């Protein structure tokens, strides 16, 4: 019995999560609705999110006043891809959802990195198949694509450059990286999501990474989203209604 439980636990540890960053923009016409209609729509939206929370992790973020093309983002993490569709359908059916567009929706999965296998400290980025996000105030997200020349390098050559990249990252312990993989699932190859309570440290980290050798093999790393973690009702109240 103990062996079977251990095997089941090991199988769970090896399950890879689907990760979705869903960005939404509110039609200005929604703000001109009667206050009672806006309130009802927000309540319906909150209820729809909570309906799916037992099956996936949902962390809300606001982009109001930060980007012009997005108002908020839901970071959704789970094991069932169709559930993302079902949740989206439920959200769009709400009074608020009828006034939403989705400028961006980035899809990825968790996967263990081939570059950090020798790192032993707890919760090392790149060794996790399960994300535990939402503990920091700010989230910085962007899709990422390497040049094809990067993949033609030997593993040893790539590892050497990644060692420098990792060493720079370790100089900024206030910034937590979550790397997810999109190969074949979406337009980008990776989605990187940096969590921090100190935007200034993230800015300095990115500036320093520009000088790393790996940056020579970056094809695309935009658009970049700065997101502020909010409670769901607070995030919706910031929409102006």
CATH match for 2-109 among 1.10.760.10, 3.30.70.1030, 3.40.190.10, 1.10.8.60: 3.30.70.1030
Would you state the pLDDT for residue 133?
86
Show me where the domains of the chain are located. Answer: 2-109
* Of 113 and 79, more confident: 79
Among residues 193, 191, 229, which one has the least CA distance to residue 60?
229
Would you state the pLDDT for residue 118?
52
Q: How far is CA 153 from CA 32, 49, 99, 112, 156, in A?
A: 56, 44, 47, 20, 8
- Using one digit for the tens of pLDDT, what is the confidence trace for 102-156? 999 999 999 998 887 554 444 444 555 889 887 899 999 999 999 999 999 999 9
Report the sign of the C-alpha dihedral through residues 122, 123, 126, 127, in that order.
positive
- pTM exceeds 0.85 for this model: yes
């Amino acid at each position: 019995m103990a062996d079977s439980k251990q095997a089941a636990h090991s199988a769970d540890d090896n399950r890879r999560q689907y990760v979705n960053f869903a960005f939404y923009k509110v039609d200005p016409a929604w703000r001109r609705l009667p206050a009672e209609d806006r309130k009802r729509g927000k309540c319906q939206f909150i209820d729809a999110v909570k309906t799916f929370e037992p099956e996936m992790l949902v962390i809300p973020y606001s982009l109001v006043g930060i980007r012009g093309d997005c108002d908020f983002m839901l970071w959704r993490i789970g094991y069932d891809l169709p559930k993302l569709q079902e949740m989206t359908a439920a959200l769009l059916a709400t009074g608020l959802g009828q006034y939403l567009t989705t400028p961006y929706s980035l899809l990825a999965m968790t996967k263990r990195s081939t570059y950090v296998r020798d790192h032993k400290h707890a919760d090392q980025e790149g060794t996790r198949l399960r994300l535990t996000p939402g503990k920091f105030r700010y989230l910085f997200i962007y899709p990422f694509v390497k040049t094809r020349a990067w993949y033609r390098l030997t593993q040893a050559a790539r590892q050497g450059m990644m060692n420098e990249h990792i060493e720079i990252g370790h100089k900024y312990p206030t910034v937590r990286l979550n790397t997810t993989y999109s190969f074949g699932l979406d337009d980008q190859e990776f989605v990187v999501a940096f969590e921090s309570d100190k935007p200034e440290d993230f800015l300095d980290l990115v500036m320093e990474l520009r000088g790393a050798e790996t940056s020579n093999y970056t094809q695309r790393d935009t658009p970049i989203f700065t997101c502020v973690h909010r409670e769901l009702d607070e995030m919706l109240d910031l929409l102006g209604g």
